[in-house]
Structure formats: C-alpha cells, structure tokens
Amino acid sequence: MSALPFLSDDEVREICAPLKVPAYQVRFLQRLGLIVNRKPNGKPLVARGEFERVLVGRAADPAQTVGAGQPDRAALFKLFQGGKRGSQAQGR
C-alpha cells in the first residue's frame, strides 16, 4: 500500500508534541520550514513530499516538482525568435 499524500493527524500530533492547539502546530511546522495549509477544521495539512523534502532530506520526486531541473533553452529561443504575435503584428 502506498503512503497517503498528506501526513495524518496522528503523525502531525507526534511531530508537534507536546503542542495540541492546531494554530500552534501550524506555526511550529512553518518554523521548521514546511509549507503548511489548513484543513477546514483548522488543523495543519502537510504534504508528505514536503515533509520528506524538509525534514528527512530526501530529494523531491522530479515528476511532482514544478520548475525542477534546468530551463528548456530550446523553447525559450523558439519563443523569442518567433517574432511578434497577435493583432498588433498583423496590422504592421
């Protein structure tokens, strides 16, 4: 069975012990360097990949990381060499 995409409430509770108030848990996790969202009930919502990236030191899965790796230089050159686009370019 694969792990859930988010830490469970029990896992968050264990990481934040002895803190029990959700607002304090959120603040503690943010100070650790985690990106933390909130559930509708106010409890912290932490992606498992974010936890592993910050606290375990694992490299994030490149397929799930936005903007990872090197820029696509060929696409950038193609964009700039394409000339002007749109109605302004057609009218001139």
Tens digit of pLDDT for each residue in 42-83?
Answer: 999 999 999 988 877 765 555 544 455 566 777 767 777 766
Kindly give the pairing relationship between strand 37-38 and strand 44-45: antiparallel
Give the DSSP H/E element, type plus range, for residue 30.
helix 22-31
Sign, CA torsion 54/55/61/64: negative
What pLDDT, in 10s, does the model give residues 11-25? 999 999 999 999 999
pLDDT at 50: 92
Backbone angles phi, psi at 47, to 5 degrees: -70, 140
Contact residues for 61 (Cβ-Cβ < 8 A; gap 6+): 49
Could you give the count of Cα atoms lying within 13 Å of 92 in the half-sphere of its Cβ? Answer: 7
**Is this model's pTM higher than 0.75 or not?**
no
